[in-house]
Every structure is written in structure tokens, then in C-alpha cells.
Amino acid sequence: MEKYLITGGAGFIGANFVKYMLKSYSGIQLVVLDALTYAGNLATIEDDVDNERCIFVKGDICDRSLADRLFAEYGFNYVVNFAAESHVDRSIENPQSFLVTNILGAQNLLDAARSAWVTGSDENGYPTWKENVRFHQVSTDEVYGSLGETGYFTEKTPLDPRSPYSASKTSADLVVKAYRETYKMPVTITRCSNNYGPYHFPEKLIPLIIKNILEGKSLPVYGDGSNVRDWLYVEDHCKAIDKVIKNGRAGEVYNVGGHNERRNIQIVKAIIRTIRRIMTERPEYRKHLRKQVAGADGLPSVEWINDDLITFVKDRLGHDQRYAIDPAKITNELGWKPETDFETGIVKTIQWYLDNQLWVEQIVAGDYLNYYERMYAGRELK
């Protein structure tokens, strides 16, 4: 039986990976380690945790004694490190927490894996390793900085992080690569473009816009909305990680992109149009509207769901203009391609949020409300 340590597995991408792996393979066991901070929600994976195929452990990736105990108890073949402080705005507010978790946490996991997996040394003094083990670091395209109007990030693009978040992820990548060079550790790294899909925490653009429309609130868009991102449906990303862990070359970096470049303002307008269309075609979904305006048919109106909801706010500090990934390497070596175009994925995503409002209500309670007020209060551009 193959055994995985999935750190950050109660977060957005990590939880989707847990669900994908359990759906795809029978002979595996997953141990999910998550500190359940603002971006981790146990409710996301509680139906998956059966204490046999999927086991949950609440804990911090910086806790070495816990990491050592888990390796000793379960004998992991694979570590997939999703655990990270992950929102750029939060990193601007509190950079140090990002450096501690994202850099020192990754290094702690690497050392725990090294301690558990090294079997001896070769004639040159390098460690020898157990067979069929792999440490995989889940990174981001933000390590490359910002692009102009043309061109794409490749694995050879110089690292040029622009925010405390991306600097911490870049540093973690370099530590992972250093363990490869120094100890010949079997590691891989994936750098992905912006993910979207089910279970996305609503401080991020797409779920935030969906949530605000349902609540009849304004839709905050940074600057003039011209910033460009490459969007990747989260299950496509999970499939890419799986391929890299199993078949990727040790020591290599693989970029994972969706071929779905969109300006932020295009994303917001697409969500507006899609929600209005769905609620026009299926009036039963109008029950989710917190803003109830009577329409001519006696049902809540959807006429007010339009571009007038958009409010441009003061831009984020150091806001990168454009990200775009070239995934040719993973396509050529491993046969991975994104399967979900944006027009399909955004409808699937919105449909999921409409069908899972209880999950949204649970996750936005508490700290999120205070955070939202801090981020957007007083930032509207006149």
C-alpha cells in the first residue's frame, strides 16, 4: 500500500487533491496534516476521513517531533506539501508568518523525510535512499515575478518574486532544490497558475465575487482590473501533481498552466453574466440571494445582477501585471494537458457554490469577516 503525507490537505488545492486521489486509487492511504488556520476547513474533507484510507491529524508542519512521529508510525512513500500561508494581501499585512510557515515548515518536513528515508551512504558519501519515495513541493507561478503583454513563464525563467508571499514560496523552492543537490534527495516541484473550483476560500477573486453577488454587495476589483492571470481548474492541477509524483524526474521543476488567460475584469464580468443566466433559467437558485428585490413574476429579481455592482478599489501594493505559464515540459514528458476550458470550469465552479452554500456560510464566519473589512474598507476609488 502506498502511503502519502498530505500537508495542508484541508485547504483548497490540498482538499481537492485528497478527494481526487481517494477517487482514483484504491490501494493508498492518506494522512492529512493541517493546522486548520483561516484557509483550512475540516468540514471540507470530513466525509473523506474514515481513519483507514484517510486519516486526519491536526498539527503544524513546523513541529519536528510530530513530523518524526508520523513518519515512524505510517512509513510514508510520498510527501505532498501544500501547507502554506497563501494569500498575497495577508503577506503584506504580516510577512513574518509567511516566512516561518512557508520556508521553515518546508525545511522541517524535508529533514523529517530525510531522517526517515536515508538508508546509508554511497562511495562518495552521498546518502542512499529508500526506493519509491518522493518529496513533492507545491509551488506557484508567482515565484517568477511579472510578465509584460507577451511571453510565458518557463521552468528556466529567472526567479523574481515581488511580494512577501511569493518570496517565501521562492525560498522554499530553493531549499527543496538544495536538498536535491546536497543530499541527492528524491524531490520534485510544480509551479501552477491560479487555481479555481470547488472549496476555494472566499477571500480569493472568484469565490469572493460569487459570494458578494449573492449578498448584493459591491464587487471590489483592484486598480482598473487589467491584471492578467492564467486560470487552471483545480482538478486538472491535481491530475498534474499525481503525474509528477509518480513519473516526474527527480530534481525537476514542472510548470502547470491552464492556457486560460483572462484579465481580472473579464473574470468578474463573466461571473456576473453566468450567475444571472443560471438564476434566470433556474429560479429555485434565487433563494440564495440575500438581496431580495421583487420581480414582475413574483420571484426575486435578478435584473440588478449586472456590471453596476463593480467597484474599482485602490490597487494592491506591488501588484504583478501578468502571469502566464508554458506547460510544454509537463505535456511533452508526462502527457499532461489541461482538460477544462475556462468557460466550462467557471460554470462548474459557480454551480458548486450555489449547491454548497452551507459550506460557504461555515467557512466565512469569524476571522474572515474582520479580514474582509480590513482589506477593502476605505479603498474605493472615487
266: which 3 cell numbers? 473579464
CA gap 103, 285 in Å, rounded? 43
Contact 118, 170 (CB under 8 A): no
SS (H, E, C) 144-198: HCCCCCCCCECCCCCCCCCCHHHHHHHHHHHHHHHHHHHHCCCEEEEEECEEECC
First-to-last alpha carbon distance for the chain, in angstroms, is 60
For this structure, is 52 an active site residue? no
| Vertex 25 angle, CA 22 and 28, to 5° | 80
CA gap 104, 179 in Å, rounded? 13
For this structure, is 341 an active site residue? no
Q: Choose among 43, 35, 30: nearest CA to 102.
A: 35
For this structure, is 142 an active site residue? yes
Contact 39, 201 (CB under 8 A): yes
111: which 3 cell numbers? 529533514
CA gap 295, 297 in Å, rounded? 5
Among 142, 203, 236, 320, the one annotated catalytic: 142
Among 60, 141, 203, 235, the one annotated catalytic: 141
Q: Cβ contacts of residue 74 below 8 Å, gap of 6+?
A: 3, 5, 29, 31
- Residue 219, CA distances (Å) to 54, 197, 264, 307, 347 in order: 38, 19, 12, 9, 19
The residues annotated as belonging to the active site are: 141-142, 165
